[in-house]
């Protein structure tokens, strides 16, 4: 035991923090969003085995520190298959497919969670196809999209609508918000939506990163371990709020939102504080 600044610090008795972390645009970026430099490190590959996403040197050091200092649990929109193409040594399981899938530490599918999802999504299976048909029908008025259902073990989890832009450029102007707003509330009922560049996810409400993260955290509840989180998107906030502390990268959707809304709120109120 060592004495540190009047705190009794027992190095043998530290509960390793759990770190719930989003992956894409939190720990790395695809080459469509950044131009890889010589000191960048390839971290994910596409289905053909080609380099897809990279970490800059600072991201590399951050991830090394996370892997060394925490029990790192990815909480990602990636399917289990897409997660298998992230070349980082995760050892404590994962939340995949926006929360539709939980993986055990050995990366097998968690059957308890899968059964819960099967039950919750029974009524959505037919409605997902109806929604895809409606998207394709409405897209005739806007432009070219491709749509698919992300499945796990034969269970349809959520829908992706991707606008076909030149070189799949996520920064190209896109019509996805207008397309979404043109659909009837009836066909959209029970879904929520996450727009990320030229990629729109239409997700049944039972499928959520927060629901799945809550399920994962239940097994650690009695351990009084610090729970930390990182994410880049507004849709990450719900799972991040399960953490004792959480953060976001600079240059992220979430950080842009905080900066914008803080500025607006300050202008309106005239002070920093707990606004009513
Ligand atoms: Mg992200």
Q: How far is the CA of 82 from the centre of ligand 1 (A)?
A: 14
Mean pLDDT of 228-245: 97
Alpha helices in the chain (DSSP H): 57-69, 80-83, 111-121, 124-139, 176-181, 185-188, 209-218, 237-240, 253-269
Q: What percent of the chain has pLDDT over 70?
A: 94
- Residue pair 95/216 in contact (Cβ under 8 Å)? The answer is yes
Q: How far is the CA of 83 from the centre of ligand 1 (A)?
A: 13
- Residue pair 44/88 in contact (Cβ under 8 Å)? The answer is no
Q: How far is the CA of 55 from the centre of ligand 1 (A)?
A: 14
> What is the distance between the alpha carbons of residues 221 and 209, in angstroms, rounded to a whole number?
18
Q: How far is the CA of 4 from the centre of ligand 1 (A)?
A: 37
Q: In the chain, what are the domains? A: 2-111+208-257 (3.40.50.1000), 119-204 (3.30.1240)
Q: Convert the pLDDT of each residue in 117-149 to its tens digit.
A: 999 999 999 999 999 999 999 999 999 999 999
Q: How far is the CA of 8 from the centre of ligand 1 (A)?
A: 38
> What is the distance between the alpha carbons of residues 70 and 91, in angstroms, rounded to a whole number?
11
Q: How far is the CA of 24 from the centre of ligand 1 (A)?
A: 4
Q: How sure is the predictor about 13, in pLDDT bands with cuts at 50, 70 and 90?
A: low
Q: How far is the CA of 233 from the centre of ligand 1 (A)?
A: 6
- Residue pair 162/194 in contact (Cβ under 8 Å)? The answer is no
Q: At residue 36, does pLDDT exceed 90?
A: no
Q: How far is the CA of 75 from the centre of ligand 1 (A)?
A: 9
Q: How far is the CA of 30 from the centre of ligand 1 (A)?
A: 11
> What is the distance between the alpha carbons of residues 1 and 217, in angstroms, rounded to a whole number?
30
Q: How far is the CA of 211 from the centre of ligand 1 (A)?
A: 17
Q: How far is the CA of 257 from the centre of ligand 1 (A)?
A: 14
> What is the distance between the alpha carbons of residues 225 and 275, in angstroms, rounded to a whole number?
31
Q: How far is the CA of 273 from the centre of ligand 1 (A)?
A: 29
Give me the numbers of helices (H) and strands (E) for the chain, helices first please.
Answer: 9, 15
Q: What are the residues facing 193 on neighbouring strands?
A: 202
> What is the distance between the alpha carbons of residues 257 and 263, in angstroms, rounded to a whole number?
10
The dihedrals phi and psi of 77, each to the nearest 5 degrees, come to -75, -15
Q: What are the residues facing 103 on neighbouring strands?
A: 94, 109
Q: How far is the CA of 91 from the centre of ligand 1 (A)?
A: 20
Q: How far is the CA of 27 from the centre of ligand 1 (A)?
A: 8
What is the crossing angle of helices 111-121 and 209-218, to 10°?
140
Q: At residue 221, does pLDDT exceed 80?
A: no
Q: At residue 1, does pLDDT exceed 60?
A: no
| Span of 26-35, 82-91, 189-198, 253-262 with lowest mean pLDDT | 26-35
pLDDT of residue 76: 97
Residue with tokens 């897409």: 82
Q: How far is the CA of 185 from the centre of ligand 1 (A)?
A: 27
Nearest to 102 by CA among 189, 197, 213, 221: 213
Strands 145-152 and 18-21: unpaired
Q: How far is the CA of 232 from the centre of ligand 1 (A)?
A: 5
Q: How far is the CA of 3 from the centre of ligand 1 (A)?
A: 40
Q: How far is the CA of 241 from the centre of ligand 1 (A)?
A: 16
Q: How far is the CA of 23 from the centre of ligand 1 (A)?
A: 6
Nearest to 212 by CA among 77, 24, 18, 67: 77
pLDDT of residue 14: 65
Q: Convert the pLDDT of each residue in 52-80 to its tens digit.
A: 899 999 999 999 999 999 999 999 999 99
Mean pLDDT of 27-51: 87
């Amino acid at each position: 035991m060592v004495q540190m600044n009047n705190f009794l610090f027992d190095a043998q008795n530290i509960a390793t923090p759990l770190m719930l972390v989003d992956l894409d645009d939190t720990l790395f970026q695809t080459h469509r969003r950044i131009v890889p430099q010589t000191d960048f490190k390839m971290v994910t590959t596409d289905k053909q085995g080609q380099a897809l996403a990279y970490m800059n040197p600072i991201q590399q050091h951050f991830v090394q520190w996370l892997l060394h200092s925490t029990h790192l649990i990815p909480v990602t929109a990636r399917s289990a298959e897409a997660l298998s193409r992230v070349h980082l040594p995760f050892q404590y399981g994962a939340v995949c497919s926006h929360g539709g899938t939980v993986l055990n530490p050995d990366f097998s599918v968690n059957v308890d969670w899968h059964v819960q999802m099967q039950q919750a999504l029974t009524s959505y299976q037919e409605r997902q196809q109806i929604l895809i048909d409606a998207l394709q029908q409405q897209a005739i008025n806007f432009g070219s999209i491709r749509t698919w259902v992300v499945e796990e073990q034969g269970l349809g989890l959520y829908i992706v609508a991707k606008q076909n832009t030149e070189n799949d450029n996520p920064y190209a102007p896109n019509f996805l918000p207008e397309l979404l707003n043109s659909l009837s509330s009836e066909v959209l009922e029970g879904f929520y939506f996450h727009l990320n560049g030229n990629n729109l996810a239409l997700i049944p409400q039972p499928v959520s990163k927060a629901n799945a993260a809550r399920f994962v955290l239940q097994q650690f509840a009695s351990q009084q371990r610090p729970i930390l989180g990182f994410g880049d998107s507004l849709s990450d906030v719900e799972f991040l709020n399960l953490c004792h502390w959480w953060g976001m990268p600079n240059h992220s959707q979430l950080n842009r939102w905080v900066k914008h809304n803080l500025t607006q709120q300050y202008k309106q109120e005239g002070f920093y504080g707990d606004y009513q």
